[in-house]
Amino acid sequence: MRAGLYLVAAVILGCAPGPRPEEPNPLESPPIDSVRVGGTDEVAAWSYREEAAADLDGDGTSETLVLAADVAFGPEREPLWEDGHRWALFVEPDRGARTMLYSAFVPNGRPTVAILQPDDRRRRRVLVEERAATELRVYEIEYAAQRARLSSALFSQVERWLAPRR
């Protein structure tokens, strides 16, 4: 009771603590599994890569978007897919540090990536669709000034996927 009276008195007398510095919203953090997938230096060394260049942040300069996986290769350089792999998506600018947009261990599936149409400020979001046997996850990620931010997400539990008729 006394603590409550002191707080009321502090507010009335103008002694209340000032506003807290704004903390980032954890719901806006990009989907990064830093426990199972290492940092950008580790994933940049993975051999399996899919790449595309696009101006993601609307500054007139293209960035390179890289989707990488930790898969081993066979004697003819074909990927030897297993039941699950670590995947990572990062931006590799011409200069500056790499920025991780997405990373995950995906069992019995894989992510696919799309660069979306530019908005009114010429910025492009990146769409990551992670499709596994029992889950579908879709993320829209924004990139600007070597920072990533999750702008939307969808998570669905899948009973079964439709199969082609035989």
The one-digit pLDDT tens for each residue of the chain (166 residues) are: 555 555 554 455 555 555 566 666 666 789 999 889 988 889 999 999 999 999 999 999 999 999 999 999 999 999 999 999 999 999 987 777 899 999 999 999 999 999 999 999 999 999 999 999 899 999 999 998 889 999 999 999 999 989 899 8
Has residue 129 been placed in a domain?
yes
- Rounded to whole angstroms, how far apart are CA atoms 36 and 104? 7
- Rounded to whole angstroms, how far apart are CA atoms 37 and 87? 8
Has residue 17 been placed in a domain?
no
Full-model pTM: 0.81
Has residue 11 been placed in a domain?
no
Full domain range(s) for residue 79: 27-157
- Rounded to whole angstroms, how far apart are CA atoms 64 and 40? 14
Sheet holding 63-69, edge to edge: 48-54, 63-69, 84-92, 99-107
Has residue 53 been placed in a domain?
yes
Q: Would you state the pLDDT for residue 94?
A: 72
What does the block give as tokens for 166?
A: 């035989």
Residue 148 near residue 101 (C-beta atoms within 8 A): yes
Has residue 104 been placed in a domain?
yes
Q: How many domains does the chain have?
A: 1
Has residue 10 been placed in a domain?
no
What does the block give as tokens for 88?
A: 């990572």
Has residue 70 been placed in a domain?
yes
Q: Would you state the pLDDT for residue 34?
A: 87
- Rounded to whole angstroms, how far apart are CA atoms 3 and 118? 54
Q: Would you state the pLDDT for residue 12?
A: 52
Q: Would you state the pLDDT for residue 97?
A: 85
Q: Give the number of other Cβ atoms within 10 Å of residue 116's Cβ.
A: 14
